[in-house]
Amino acid sequence: MKKLILLIVSLSLSFTLFAQNRKILTPDGKLHSINEVMRVKQVNEGNHQTREFTSPNSANNLIDTLEFTGPWDVNFGFFGQDWLLQWFQAPVDLILKKVGFACYENPDMMSVEVKVVTVNWSKAELLAADVAWRGYYESTGNGYNDITAFLDNGDITGGWTSIQPGDSEPFGHDIWVDSGPNSSIIPTCNNTTPTLLWVDLSILGEPQLNIGDIFGIAIKHTSPNMDENRIGFWAHQYDPPIPAWKFYANGRLEPGIDFGWWTTEYTIDFAAEVDLITDVDDNDDIKPEKYSLYQNYPNPFNPSTRIKYALSSRQYATLKVYDILGNEVAILVNEEKPAGEYEVEFSVAQNSILSSGIYFYQLRAGSFIETKKMILLK
């Protein structure tokens, strides 16, 4: 099936987001204008302050969550100078507000650093990746096997070394980074119930991701002691897997030998809090207020729900349903239609393998695009 598809933002350059012509799609189906300009700023390590965890709640109720559903039942560990990365694909245009992670244990009260990076691999490549040693960047003289994890890490001295024949460089530039003096976080953990701890990105700027963009939330264990001071995170092994990536500073099976990035069989309980965006064309020939996509009813639903939409002129229209990973799960409308109001039914009987969770439905008609969220509860 077709898939929604990636973003690029580099902190090596100043990136400005002009949002005057955009709107926020809230969970209640209403649109809210954005009247500010956001900027992703280059990191100034001298200005960092100790980070604190924040609540994901939004006073304006504009926040939605990108998170895999679990069940979280594995204590997945990493050690000094290791990294963990879990990737996501943006199901719609969105603004990244916060990133979160669920810590299982941190007995030595060690600290971590957080960044968000561009992912170069396609979703198909990421999902097809089996457990394998992938590679690393050169970092001559850094004291940790002369390797580093990312292109924009300050200790990099050379390019990407690929271990598997045919592998391309998996990651690109930083999208958001919080590293340097006084920027580390000491996770508080819960070994009975997965509890997400949230890092607010607004201190350095909230990056925008386009529909289909793939990004990675990455966490570094800051301890200088390789293979020591274990921190555990909640994880799950899906079948088929949604592989997370782990950077082994001192190797996975052979210390000092097979160091660098590995793809794993596990998914880590990381998450992103986002504002959903919808674009409306400002062309005078199209009156966006007359092109409408309404909130489905009932919502939440089981087994079926109704979706209404309106077209102000004859247009070729598509109405499609996507899951939180960006997979197309249903095509409800795919034809030219005259102006008018319409209603269609979406039923899980059309796709019996669908599980409970968040889904998105998107109407495209000419230059008009609008996306809304619905929830299936089985």
pLDDT in tens, 12-71: 222 222 232 333 333 333 333 333 222 222 222 233 233 333 333 332 334 588 888 889
Mean per-residue pLDDT for 79-100?
Answer: 93
Instruction: List 373's β-bridge partners, or say none.
Output: 360
Domain with CATH 2.60.40.3080 in the chain: 281-376
- Taking only the tens place, the pLDDT of each residue in 303-361 is 999 999 998 888 889 999 999 999 999 999 998 888 888 889 999 876 778 999 999 99
Measured between alpha carbons, how far is residue 140 from residues 145, 261, 316 in Å?
Answer: 8, 17, 57
Which range of 27-31, 39-43, 180-184, 255-259 scores highest in mean pLDDT? It is: 255-259
Instruction: List 116's β-bridge partners, or say none.
Output: 176, 217
- Annotate 110-128 with DSSP letters as a single string: --EEEEEEEE-S-HHHHHH
Q: How far apart are CA 84 and CA 234, in angstroms?
A: 12
Tell which wins on pLDDT, 191 or 39. Answer: 191
Amino acid at 228: E
Tell which wins on pLDDT, 114 or 21. Answer: 114
- Taking only the tens place, the pLDDT of each residue in 211-229 is 889 999 999 999 999 999 9
Query: How much is the pLDDT for 182?
Result: 55
Tell which wins on pLDDT, 350 or 169. Answer: 169
In the structure, what pLDDT confidence band is assigned to residue 178 with cuts at 50, 70 and 90? confident
Nearest-CA neighbor of 103 among 246, 236, 233, 268? Answer: 233
Query: How much is the pLDDT for 277?
Result: 75
- Taking only the tens place, the pLDDT of each residue in 142-162 is 999 999 999 999 999 999 999
CATH T-level assignment (fold) for domain 281-376:
Immunoglobulin-like (2.60.40)
Tell which wins on pLDDT, 278 or 351. Answer: 351
Query: How much is the pLDDT for 99?
Result: 94
Nearest-CA neighbor of 187 among 100, 269, 116? Answer: 100
Query: How much is the pLDDT for 92?
Result: 81
